[in-house]
Structure 1
């Protein structure tokens, strides 16, 4: 059974990964936009969904 502290640590690491992904998209937006439109849109939707879930979990710990 994970403690709140352990969960918070894991979520912090996940948040760092989300931030790294966002940074890559911001720095490589032209390369990302050269993906087929459906793949680009799918990546954006997945990323947005992940951010939302991460935020909801984080809020439940507070």
Structure 2
């Protein structure tokens, strides 16, 4: 959370962005990243559910 805060401060605060020569990232680039992260989280939680439900399965042995 700290890293997200630092990035937002550096890109959104005007005098910080002038010092570092940065610009805000458009939603066109941020949204696919957030979508991929949420998708990865859902897949991992489903994997953990399968490991708990089926402790002797191949998925549990891989984990």
Q: Bin the TM-score by the shorter chain.
A: 0.3 to 0.5
Larger Rg: 2
* Structure showing greater relative contact order (alpha-carbon pairs closer than 8 Å, 6 or more residues apart): 1
Structure with more of its chain in helix, by fraction: 1
